[in-house]
Amino acid sequence: MSNQEQFDEVETTPNPQLVVTEDMRSYIYDMAKWANFLGIVGFVLSAFMLMAALTIGPTMNANPELSKMMGQFGAMDGTTFSIVFLIYGLAIFYPSLLMVRYAAKAKHGVLYGEQLSLNEAMGKLKSLFKYFGTLAVIFIAIYLIALVSAVIGGVA
């Protein structure tokens, strides 16, 4: 068989289509409801973080007694406290946004049988997992650096 005949044979072979059963649709819909709930909770938490960053940091700078009452957090400058809480707030906001977008697209795709919406929902879910995977790699690297620093610091 020549290369052209093999190529033509591969081209005419039908691609198997993925079948989404009713159970799978139900699971996707339930996942979307939970993702929506968790996304809203994340928005609320990131709003609290933003409010804390905008109020507690300047208050710490204005009132040194507050720094003493905050224990270990009081060791930070008010500006540092605000920056840390802003970073935490943004770190919570982004996955919450992805979850809410996933939920909206997944519900729409499942309820109306729209393949495009379901494809977009899976894209949002992929982005969410990539975000958490990246965070996991970052935290593992930080822990390894801390461990190596502790070992080197203990030896010196």
**pLDDT for the residue numbered 126:** 97
| 113 falls within a domain | yes
CB 79 within 8 A of CB 59: no
Question: Total structural domains in the chain?
Answer: 1
How confident is the model at residue 63, as a pLDDT? 82
pTM across the whole model:
0.78
* Rounded Cα gap, residues 32 and 126, in angstroms: 14
Q: Which residues contact 133 (CB under 8 A, 6 or more apart)?
A: none
CB 117 within 8 A of CB 105: yes
Given a cut of 50, the residues of the chain with pLDDT beneath it are none
State CA 72 to chain mean position distance.
Answer: 28
Nearest to 135 by CA among 95, 98, 80: 95
Q: Which residue has the tokens 């906001």?
A: 93
Q: Is residue 103 part of a domain?
A: yes
Does residue 17 sit within a domain? no
pLDDT attached to residue 102: 97
Range of the domain at 26: 22-124
Task: With respect to residue 100, please indicate whether it lies within any of the assigned structural domains.
Answer: yes
